[in-house]
Amino acid sequence: MNLAKQSRASEPVEGHAQNSPMVRLRPPWLIYFGDVEDVGHAKTGLGLIQWRREFCAGQMRASGCHVDGGIPDMGIGEAVAAGVNSLVIGVAPAGGSIPPTWVSDLVRAARAGIDIVSGMHARLSDFPEIVAAARESGARLIDVRTPPRNIPVGSGERRSGKRLLTVGTDCAVGKKYTALAVEKEMRARGWNADFRATGQTGIMIAGQGVAIDSVIADFISGAAEMLSPAAAPDHWDVIEGQGSLSHPSFAGVSLGLLHGAQPDALVLCHDPSRKFLLGMEGSGSFPILPLAQSIEQCLGLARRVNVNARFVGVSVNTSRVSPEERSRLYEEIARETGLPVADPIREGVKAIVDRIAAEFR
């Protein structure tokens, strides 16, 4: 424990030095799909185009690419002419490595002064050709999984402004999507709201953020505090959750994020088709907790840092639920939790933001 509250450097961001402690991407972006064949592996790039179309100047696809984001195709030369500032790798091949076939494209972009942005496990700085090209032009190599330097230890001090955090009954239940949908709905109503990213895809979509699961353990809550600093009283930070308090692999990350976020409002994200934690069906040891129990556990911990923390909705993924089942499911969840229920992909999160409006404005 670092009781002295000293800052401690985490691993440095490679390439050109950054002044800000947080990752920040410079738009406009060129979305790089390489030769990806499978839409499932292109979720990052397609998510960027879905949520931040205004920052996407074009896409770059090699022969053999079977994915189309529906935006203009460009080579490096055209991208330079279009004023592109960042090439964002929009593909995550299995294994998280950078295939040799991409390297020459990345070298050409870096040499042209375009920042290269990657969310993969492999580090851009492990490719000497890319490093040399970036050094020559001053382009930045941004590995968004690499946390910023100088994250403080969390202080627990109350900050001005409002915060919403999405939490989950499991990993991969729509916490990022729900947060983005809430931000969009709040902005549509003219509210002052910002999505705050805690994972690599979210960081690319937001153009900034901290990969909270990559931070040194002593600094998780400090990173969350840094990510959602004091703001105007009517401003909402809409913070992307990570993991689950009931997940034995990642609960520490979830609790540090909860404490650092100090949420006023919480949305519980849930996939009703899951009976056990993802990837742990075999052992049968880790059933998904009942929603009311998840909520109670989370509030017990959240109120340590914000006595007014409360849930404002349940976000469900109903992609595997039949239309007849759906209304029964919504009623059941509403009865169990007393909260509005919404599938952000199907009908959006109006019901949840209505509840926030009623409780906070």
- Residues in contact with a copy of itself, counted by CB under 8 A, come to a total of 56
CA-angle at 347, arms to 338 and 198, nearest 5°: 80
The span from the CA of 16 to the CA of 143, in Å, is 12
Tell me if the bond preceding 28 is cis, omega within 30° of 0. yes
The rounded Cα 254 to chain-centroid distance in angstroms is: 13
Of 184 and 259, CB closest to a copy of itself: 259
Of 78 and 218, CB closest to a copy of itself: 218
| Smallest separation (angstroms) from a copy of itself to the CB of 112 | 32
Angle between helices 128-137 and 100-111 (to 10 degrees): 10
- Residue 93 and residue 35 in contact, taking contact as beta carbons nearer than 8 Å: no
The span from the CA of 348 to the CA of 350, in Å, is 6
Of 71 and 278, CB closest to a copy of itself: 278
**Which residue in the set 101, 150, 160, 249 belongs to the binding site for a copy of itself (CB under 8 A)?**
249
**Which residue in the set 99, 229, 248, 290 belongs to the binding site for a copy of itself (CB under 8 A)?**
248
Strands 162-168 and 115-118: unpaired
Pick out residues in 6-45 that bind a copy of itself (CB under 8 A): 6, 8, 11
Pick out residues in 68-107 that bind a copy of itself (CB under 8 A): 96
For tokens 């934690």, the residue is 277
Which one of the spans 55-63, 79-87, 243-251, 324-332 is the region binding a copy of itself (CB under 8 A)? Answer: 243-251
DSSP state of 146: S
Which one of the spans 82-90, 136-144, 149-157, 338-346 is the region binding a copy of itself (CB under 8 A)? Answer: 149-157
- Residue 221 and residue 263 in contact, taking contact as beta carbons nearer than 8 Å: no
**Which residue in the set 201, 228, 242, 294 belongs to the binding site for a copy of itself (CB under 8 A)?**
242
- Note the residues at the interface with a copy of itself (CB under 8 A): 1-6, 8, 11, 96, 121, 153-158, 171-172, 199, 212-218, 220-222, 242-243, 245-246, 248-257, 259-260, 278-280, 283, 285-286, 297, 300-301, 304-305
